[in-house]
A and B are shown apart, each in its own frame.
Chain A
Amino acid sequence: MSDKHGEEDESKKAKMHLKANDLLCVNGCGFYGTPQWENRCSKCWRAHQNELKKSQDFAKNKSLLSFDQFQERRKSTTESKSRGIKNLFKTSPIPESGTSSPTSTSPSSTPTRRRDLSPDSLEARKQFSDFLVANLSTAMAQEIARSVKNAVNKISEMRLNSEDMSDLVISYYQYLGDRIGVHSYFNSPDCKVKVEDVMDQVEKYISTCCYAMFFCASHDEEVADMSLQDRIRSLHWVTAGFLETKLVFKKQNVRDKVDEAITELIEINAKKSAFEKLDCLTRSCKAIFEALKESESSTSADEFLPTLIYILFRGNPPLIQSNVKFISRFAVPARLMSGEAAYFFTNLSCALEFARNMNHESLQMEKTEFEAYTSGHMAPPLSVLNTACNQAMYVLEGTIETIVTVAKKAEDLLKNLTGVDKKSDDDLEKMLILIKETVDIFPTDEYIQMKESIFAEEQETADLLVSLSRQSSESGRGTLSTSADNTQPSTPQPQLDPSFESPLAAAIVQKEATDSN
């Protein structure tokens, strides 16, 4: 009403109504107040309304977010809880009183709103009913299906926070497990499945349905996860060496397995049901064990936990904390108490706890040093400790090693080749000699004929030479003495001996002899 007045009017009016202070706004802003606005002026009233709404909202949110309040509420009378459990099993739509149970998050009685099932839930429902139809008797399947369907409807109808819903779901698992456990059907020979298998499927379906509503539902959880992820990122310098893992990164197999483990750990976030999430975790941990085996390390917890922490740091999986919370809330409790998956889950919880609380003491170093590395002001010195996981270094080292061995092999090969070459030459020579000897000792007919024909030809040539030399000596006979005639036939005579190899050579010798005469 009076908020449109100018500044000069304000002072005037204040003076005018000095004696009627009651009419002014209780905030003392100088404007008039109105009784229905609790004696506030319109501006102050609006501000007051906003404040009020904010504080109401905050109270509402606080009840959603604060962990202490969860605890308190959980500790509060079991009666309210039991009513909640009853609600979970009831088939009729919840009466108004159901929503106003203390566990309800909405203070005002808002009408219950049913959410449609997500496509994942529908898929899970189909799988679930297929399983029931395939493995159980019709009556049994119908009974279980009806019970689970009711529970799922209740889950989507009831507006509870995750903690309370977790209580309800877990007591439902317990209840259903007990109820179908007493059935004699499971002991009969026709029954192919165990109670646990049925419970696995129930869990798969229910937790998928819960996923849409309760996974990382509150802002707080998301913030907590983001801060954890940031923290792990800031700890990037904490490498395998600092954690004293026994992984041998030189081996390709080890590196492959480490990558596999990281992939599976990240994959956890992509799965919807607690069952599948745990499955991913199990596969990841198995890959770690294989990596340890490849590294020829023992596979006891002393080696396993540091390796898992290393994998966690390397992978920095998204929303891991929310995933762990989700699993612990909506998985069948027995699965988290015993068995392989439980052990791995516990180890993952340990690894997360370690990441959260890690400080300079856990790495046995100075506080300032730790903080400098974490904040990025200082880089850790290159040493065996941190290069122990430096894969690039190891790849390089491995490559160099390979090159050296290849070079050595090439050298050896060359040496061998020359050796073979020389040996083949020697052998050839030896072989030739051997052939010659053999042929001499055991001559073939051909060889003899050839030898004979050569001999004959040479004989002819020799004869020709001899007659030629005779002609020349006869022409010179008149001047020469006859003494040469006497010696002449005597010289070629021994040379024509059959032992003499070549008649040609003999003829030449003879000619030389006659020439000298």
Chain B
Amino acid sequence: MSSITRKEFKFKVVLLGEGCVGKSSLVLRFVENKFSTRHLSTIQASFQNKTVQVDDCKAELHIWDTAGQEKYHALGPIYYRGSNGVLLVFDITEQRSFKKVKNWVLEIKTCLGKTAEILIVGNKIDLDDERQVSRQEAESYAESEGALYMETSAQENRGISEAFTALTEKMIQHSRTATAEAPLSNRSIRLIDEEPLEESRRKKCC
């Protein structure tokens, strides 16, 4: 239907990851192309909009940052409720942050089912000599969970726009297949909706 030729999309993307893995830096780099070690920004880093052009489609990304501290872990579901994509960030120099990613994947799968696309991001590849999580390990894990895997460096601006573009592509695909399947249920609702329209018109005549 018309949804296949749709050119404009709106997606909610949630950033999850342990504290200090570089979630905020990643967004700042992506949205403003800025990096600072203390990341003092003139803009607020926790909520950003950015439009991404993929082929001939325009997608508006609403990127939501989340608090990564352990004590707020339980609040995750409130954040990622209704999101189209989830960006799971971990620090390649810290095994623990990768483990947290695995927890999150499980959680998201139970909470959102297959409604959201997952992109796992290994950040800080500029610190390659301190690497604790190998690329193969992360890649094979992502594949087993049906997620994408990308490596980035917010400091050196490597792989970031690629990562967001890849996620956007997947989300567009997803929403196209979803809307292609959806019309049936939509139509039934619309049937109900059309009646009152006629009724109100009829009333006008009277």
Residues of A within 8 A of B (CB): 82, 85-86, 88-92, 146-147, 150, 171, 175, 178-179, 244, 289, 293, 296-302, 304-306, 337-340, 343, 346, 349-350, 353-354, 357, 361-364
Contact = CB atoms under 8 A, between A and B. Distances in A.
Interface stretch (B104-112, B172-180, B193-201): B193-201
A304 B46 contact: yes
A146 B62 CA distance: 35
Interface string B19-38: 10001100000000000001
A147 B72 contact: no
Contact of A300 (B23, B72, B196): B23
A244 B10 CA distance: 34
B199 A90 contact: yes
B67 interface: yes
Given A175-B196, A301-B45, 13 more contacts: A85-B192, A89-B199, A90-B196, A147-B200, A178-B190, A293-B42, A298-B41, A300-B39, A301-B24, A301-B46, A301-B67, A302-B65, A350-B67
Contact of B71 (A147, A179, A299, A362): A362
Contact of A337 (B12, B65, B189): B12
Contacts of A305: 66-67, 72, 75
B159 interface: no
Contact residues on B (Cβ < 8 Å of other chain), bracket? 35 or more
B57 to A, nearest CB: 17
Nearest to B81: A346
Given A300-B45, A304-B67, A340-B47, A346 B78 contact: yes
A82 B189 CA distance: 8
Contacts of A244: 69
Given A178-B193, A298-B45, A306-B67, A349 B78 contact: yes
Contacts of A146: 200, 204
A354 B72 contact: yes
Nearest to A304: B46
B28 to A, nearest CB: 9
Contacts of A338: 10, 12, 62
B44 A302 contact: no
Contacts of B1: none
B196 A337 contact: no
A109 to B, nearest CB: 24
A179 B195 CA distance: 12
Interface of B: 10, 12, 19, 23-24, 38-47, 62, 64-69, 71-72, 74-75, 78-79, 81-82, 189-190, 192-193, 195-197, 199-200, 203-204
A299 B41 contact: yes
A293 B74 CA distance: 27
Interface centre among B39, B46, B190, B197 (most CB of A within 10 A): B46
A339 B62 contact: yes
Contact of A302 (B40, B68, B78, B189): B68
Given A86-B192, A178-B193, A338-B10, A346 B41 contact: no
Contact of A343 (B64, B196, B199, B204): B64
10 contacts: A86-B195, A92-B203, A146-B204, A150-B200, A293-B42, A296-B40, A339-B62, A346-B81, A353-B75, A357-B74
Contacts of A357: 74
